[in-house]
């Protein structure tokens, strides 16, 4: 969880310093129709709206993606990735590196890649966490359980994603 509370729409109480302090009366006078000052929006209302619009449910019909489930339902299991030719990847971690052949730009014309691939066990990924071999089908349920704004953990995707409890 964040160590310092961040301002969403409800600022902390203004100090009484003579210079360099926010003057609430002036701000309210300048923006009398603001939904913040009318009480129409609050931190809790914004968190609820963010959860609804950005984190929950399935997005449909947008920007080249027919639908996207924000809870990552159906995330791939890397142990079940089919490899080979015809546009399939060379491994769950590497795309097919072969050319489709002279005169073709169609991935379905690719042969199976038979070259040497790096052993994923020896990949050293930057950062911390569970490493690059953990399958999205394992991590996605934990990402989907995250709460709204203000409940995220600095430096981690979710509790336990750093390999610690």
98 & 149 share domain:
yes
Closest by CA position to 94, among listed 65, 133, 56, 131: 133
Structure tokens of 88? 């399939």
Residue 142 domain flag? yes
Number of domains in the chain: 2
Q: What is the pLDDT of residues 103-153, one digit of tens each?
A: 999 999 999 999 999 887 776 666 666 767 788 888 888 877 776 666 666
Q: What is the pLDDT of residues 47-77, one digit of tens each?
A: 889 888 888 888 887 677 788 888 888 888 9
pTM, two decimals, is: 0.56
Closest by CA position to 129, among listed 82, 162, 96, 93: 162
In this prediction, residue 64 carries a pLDDT of 79
Residue 58 domain flag? yes
In this prediction, residue 31 carries a pLDDT of 93
Q: What is the pLDDT of residues 5-22, one digit of tens each?
A: 778 888 877 777 777 778
Residue 55 domain flag? yes
83 & 35 share domain:
no
**How many residues in the chain?**
165
In this prediction, residue 5 carries a pLDDT of 73
63 & 123 share domain:
no
- The range of the structural domain enclosing residue 130 comes to 78-165
59 & 94 share domain:
no
Residues β-bridged to residue 55: none
Strand bridging mode 58-62 / 65-69: antiparallel
Residue 159 domain flag? yes
Residue 54 domain flag? yes
103 & 120 share domain:
yes
How far apart, in whole angstroms, are the C-alpha atoms of residue 1 and residue 139? 19
């Amino acid at each position: 969880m964040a160590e310092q509370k961040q301002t969403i729409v409800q600022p902390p109480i203004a100090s009484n310093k003579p210079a360099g302090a926010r003057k609430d009366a002036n701000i309210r006078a300048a923006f009398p129709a603001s939904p913040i000052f009318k009480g129409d929006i609050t931190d809790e209302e914004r968190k609820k709206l963010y959860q609804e619009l950005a984190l929950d449910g399935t997005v449909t019909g947008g920007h080249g993606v027919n639908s996207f489930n924000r809870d990552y339902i159906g995330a791939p299991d890397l142990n079940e990735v089919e490899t080979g030719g015809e546009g399939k990847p060379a491994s769950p971690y590497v795309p097919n590196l072969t050319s489709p052949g002279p005169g073709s730009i169609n991935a379905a014309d690719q042969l199976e890649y038979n070259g040497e691939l790096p052993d994923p066990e020896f990949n050293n990924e930057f950062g911390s966490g569970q490493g690059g071999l953990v399958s999205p089908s394992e991590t996605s349920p934990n990402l989907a359980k995250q709460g709204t704004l203000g409940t995220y953990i600095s430096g981690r995707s979710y509790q336990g994603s750093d390999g610690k409890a």
